[in-house]
Amino acid sequence: MIEFIDVSKTYPNGTHALHNINLKIDDGEFVYIVGASGAGKSTFLKLITCEEKPNSGQIIVNGVHLETIKKRNIPYLRRNMGLVFQDFRLIETMNVFDNIAFAMRVVGTREKEIEKRVPFFLKMVGLSHKAKMFPSELSGGEKQRIGLARALINHPKMLIADEPTGNIDPAMSYEMLGMLSEINKHGTTVVMVTHEHVLVREFPHRIVEINNGSIVADSSLMQNPAAAQSAEPSETSEKGGGTDA
């Protein structure tokens, strides 16, 4: 679960990236984060991955308060997140198999387990036959599927995707969204930053729109007023108390 309570972030250079963000993403949800460039989407992701700390407010990810998390605990928090990048971030000098295995090696998985798990995930993204190829020999869509396999290989609870379809052709984008939806169905939370309205319409999930550092729209609040209340913690407690009485 990801929860932002009154979160604001201003960078040292004075840029107000996020202002008073309140948002709750439950386990197993699929959420699109949309908004124009510079709206604060990247800062939002950086706060979730602990690359940045908020100036005020609270961020709770999988029960851990990120505003007070100790530096040495950050890696362990990230092991529960799979990250997919717009530019794939594959290592050019490693073949497909090793690119995926790399994510397991750096968290200290046994080679025996790597030999077992990597082929399984390669099969899942439909690239078993390209295990020995290098990234330069793959298409954009294939690279991103490897990126996805790498993000999922350590069984993360949530998948954070930063414009995963930004560099691949439309047909592949559909396929990618299909995969992400499938993964989500199996219980993995998916948070995806995107610009592509067509995809968002085609694969309907909750949409959170950020503009100028604030949440300007949240589809779950529009459809479900109860969720609207829970997203505003201060009001929730007041109203909740009133209902009980």
Q: Site residues for another protein, window 93-132 (CB under 8 A)? A: 102-103, 105-108, 110
The least CB distance from residue 105 to another protein, in Å, is: 6
What type of residue sits at position 152? L
- CB burial of 167-196 (b: ≥16 within 10 Å; e: otherwise) equals bbeeebbbbbbebbeebbeeebbbbbbbeb
Among 121, 150, 199, 208, binds another protein (CB under 8 A): 150
- The answer to whether residues 136 and 94 touch, using CB atoms and an 8 Å cutoff, is no
Q: Which residue number, 110 or 185, has a Cβ lying nearer to another protein? A: 110
Q: Which residue number, 100 or 207, has a Cβ lying nearer to another protein? A: 100
Residue 209 CA to residue 216 CA, distance in Å, equals: 6
Q: Which residue number, 163 or 175, has a Cβ lying nearer to another protein? A: 163
Residue 26 CA to residue 16 CA, distance in Å, equals: 27
Q: Site residues for another protein, window 30-49 (CB under 8 A)? A: 42, 45-46, 49
For another protein (CB under 8 A), the number of binding residues is: 30
Contact between 155 and another protein per CB under 8 A: no
Among 2, 35, 39, 78, binds another protein (CB under 8 A): 78
- The answer to whether residues 104 and 117 touch, using CB atoms and an 8 Å cutoff, is yes
Contact between 12 and another protein per CB under 8 A: no
And the tokens for 239? Answer: 């109203």
Residue 59 CA to residue 74 CA, distance in Å, equals: 14
The least CB distance from residue 156 to another protein, in Å, is: 9
- Using alpha carbons, select from 23, 60, 21 the residue that is nearest to residue 213: 21
Q: Site residues for another protein, window 189-218 (CB under 8 A)? A: none
The least CB distance from residue 29 to another protein, in Å, is: 20
DSSP 168: S
Could you list the residues that contact another protein (CB under 8 A)? 42, 45-46, 49, 51-52, 72, 75-81, 83, 85-87, 89, 91, 102-103, 105-108, 110, 150, 154, 162
